[in-house]
Structures are given as C-alpha cells and as structure tokens.
C-alpha cells in the first residue's frame, strides 16, 4: 500500500508553496512548519518531506532551526532536501535531526561525492532527488537544466547502493493537475528494485488511490493539503484503512 508523505516547503522559517518551482510565484501559509508536522503526525503520517528552498537557492542549508524544532518533537521521520552541496551541509542536516538526506543538484554536479556518500551512509539514508523538466534533470532549486536524463542519473549510482529516488515532474508541481503517472510506471518497470516516490501534481485522494492501485509505493503531497483539496481527515481515514487491511505492517 502506498505511503503518504506530506511536504513542507520552507522559506525563512515559513510554510510556502511555489508554482512550477518559480520563486516569484510563492504562496505563504499561516501555520508554522512545526504546527503542520504535529497535525500530520496526529493524522497517522509517519514520514515528512522538508524542503529548504532558501538552501536550494543559496547552496547551503538555511532553515536548520526549523529542522531542529521538528526533529526535537520526535513525532515523524524526516527527509530533508535543499542546500546539501558539500560534506559540511550533509553533516549539518544529519546533525540537526534529519533521518534521510535528499541529494539533488550535487548528484549531477559532483557525482563522485554522491557515490562516496552512498557507500558511507548507505542507500537507506541518502536519497537521490531528481527534478525533471522537459525530459532533463533540473538543478539549483530548479533554476537550471542539466543535460542528463533521469535514467542516466539513476544508472550512474546503482553500482554504489542507490535504493531510493524522489522524482518530481516540475511541470506538474504545485499545479494540482494530477501526477505524471506514466513517468513513474516507466521508472518502476525499468528499475524494479528501486523505491520511487511520486512528487508533483497530486490534486485529490483519487490521485493517491490511483497510484496505490498501480502499485507505486510512496507519494509526496503538498499544495493539495494547503488548498484543502485533501483533508487531514481523509489522510487519517486512508492510513487507518491501510492498517485494517495490513495489521502487521
């Protein structure tokens, strides 16, 4: 059954959402990241997707105080992306309480370093974050396009223990028009031993149920929650229903 992972995007300690990765198209939401994390935990969620948008833009983690605050509450597992461009950035994020580090731009620009981290920390903690625009992987907070395809990037790291990939279709992100289902089905078929997380475009519980029926294991949900298209009650009911079907999970 599919795992729902709510997303909290952070700029200057506030919950925000961007449309298609455009920093000029920003919506700020009133709840703090910690308040949202508590609401998600109460709804039965186990894992949280935190994105440091300041860090993604600046090249180093910028919202570590928010990470410490949420991790200190000890209510959710945290995967963190944004600003991890060197060893100091990785250690800062892990020391601040992240359970998993998402490596995006660095994996493209310094693949040797990514390979070393996979071998040192393991594919269980180091996650490849691949953001796709027009078939190519985007970097630097979606501000630049690289020449690499998602398949070329994954193939590079499989020999070094890569196990998890979060793949975002930028054209869908924040648009509430449904995910790029075929993209994820193609990836799952090509890499059956890899765990892919769907990201971008989720607009309703119907989208999530469809992904679940297709056998996809994880989905990140962001704007649909903030815009009240998916309620915390619906998430709670979905997770509770999974627990009833799979009591030993």
User: Average pLDDT for residues 12-25, to the nearest whole number?
Assistant: 82
Residue among 52, 54, 131, 169 flagged as catalytic: 131
Strands 126-133 and 164-169 turn out to be parallel
Decide if 21 contacts 141 (C-beta within 8 A).
Answer: yes
Q: What percent of the chain has pLDDT over 90?
A: 76
As a whole number of angstroms, the distance between CA 165 and CA 200 comes to 14
Decide if 196 contacts 187 (C-beta within 8 A).
Answer: yes
Q: For residue range 193-203, what is the model confidence (pLDDT) as tens digits?
A: 999 999 988 99
In this model, does residue 247 exceed pLDDT 90?
no
Provide the pLDDT confidence category of residue 174 given band limits of 50, 70 and 90. Answer: low
Provide the pLDDT confidence category of residue 245 given band limits of 50, 70 and 90. Answer: low
Predicted local confidence at residue 143, as pLDDT: 64
In this model, does residue 248 exceed pLDDT 60?
no
Q: For residue range 60-108, what is the model confidence (pLDDT) as tens digits?
A: 999 999 999 999 999 999 999 999 999 999 999 999 999 999 998 899 9
In this model, does residue 249 exceed pLDDT 60?
no
Predicted local confidence at residue 192, as pLDDT: 97
- The mean pLDDT value of the chain amounts to 92
Nearest to 133 by CA among 151, 117, 118, 145: 145
User: Average pLDDT for residues 1-20, to the nearest whole number?
Assistant: 91
Alpha helix (H) residue ranges in the chain? 33-42, 53-58, 64-73, 87-95, 105-109, 111-121, 150-157, 181-190, 205-213, 223-226, 232-245
Predicted local confidence at residue 26, as pLDDT: 85
Residue among 9, 52, 54, 169 flagged as catalytic: 9
Q: For residue range 42-58, what is the model confidence (pLDDT) as tens digits?
A: 999 999 999 999 998 89
In this model, does residue 21 exceed pLDDT 80?
no
Predicted local confidence at residue 212, as pLDDT: 97
Matching CATH number, 3-245, of 3.20.20.70, 3.40.50.2000, 2.60.120.260, 3.20.20.110: 3.20.20.70
Provide the pLDDT confidence category of residue 223 given band limits of 50, 70 and 90. Answer: confident
Provide the pLDDT confidence category of residue 191 given band limits of 50, 70 and 90. Answer: very high
212 as an active site residue: the answer is no
Using DSSP's 3-state secondary structure scheme, residue 116 falls into helix
Task: Tell me which of 170 and 213 has the higher pLDDT.
Answer: 213
Q: For residue range 124-164, what is the model confidence (pLDDT) as tens digits?
A: 999 999 999 888 898 865 667 788 999 999 999 999 999 99
Predicted local confidence at residue 231, as pLDDT: 97
Predicted local confidence at residue 105, as pLDDT: 87
What are the structural domain ranges in the chain?
3-245
173 as an active site residue: the answer is no
């Amino acid at each position: 059954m599919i795992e729902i992972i709510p997303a909290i995007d952070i700029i200057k300690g506030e919950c925000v959402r961007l449309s298609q990765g455009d920093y000029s198209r920003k919506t700020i939401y009133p709840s703090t990241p910690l308040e949202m994390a508590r609401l998600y935990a109460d709804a039965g969620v186990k894992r949280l997707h935190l994105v440091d948008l300041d860090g993604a833009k600046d090249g180093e983690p910028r919202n570590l105080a928010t990470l410490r605050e949420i991790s200190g509450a000890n209510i959710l597992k945290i995967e963190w992306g944004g600003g991890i461009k060197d060893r100091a950035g990785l250690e800062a994020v892990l020391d601040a309480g992240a359970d998993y580090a998402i490596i995006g731009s660095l994996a493209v620009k310094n693949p040797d370093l990514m390979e070393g981290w996979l071998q040192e920390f393991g594919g269980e903690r180091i996650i490849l974050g691949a953001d796709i625009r027009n078939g190519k992987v985007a970097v630097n907070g979606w501000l630049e396009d690289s020449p690499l395809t998602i398949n070329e990037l994954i193939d590079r790291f499989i020999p070094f223990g890569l196990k998890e990939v979060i793949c975002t279709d930028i054209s869908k992100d924040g648009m509430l028009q449904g995910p790029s289902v075929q993209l994820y089905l193609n990836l799952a078929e090509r890499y059956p031993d890899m765990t892919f997380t769907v990201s971008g475009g989720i607009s309703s519980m119907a989208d999530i149920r469809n992904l679940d029926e297709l056998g996809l294991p994880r989905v990140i949900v962001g704007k649909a929650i903030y815009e009240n298209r998916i309620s915390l009650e619906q998430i709670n009911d979905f997770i509770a229903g999974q627990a009833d079907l799979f009591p030993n999970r």
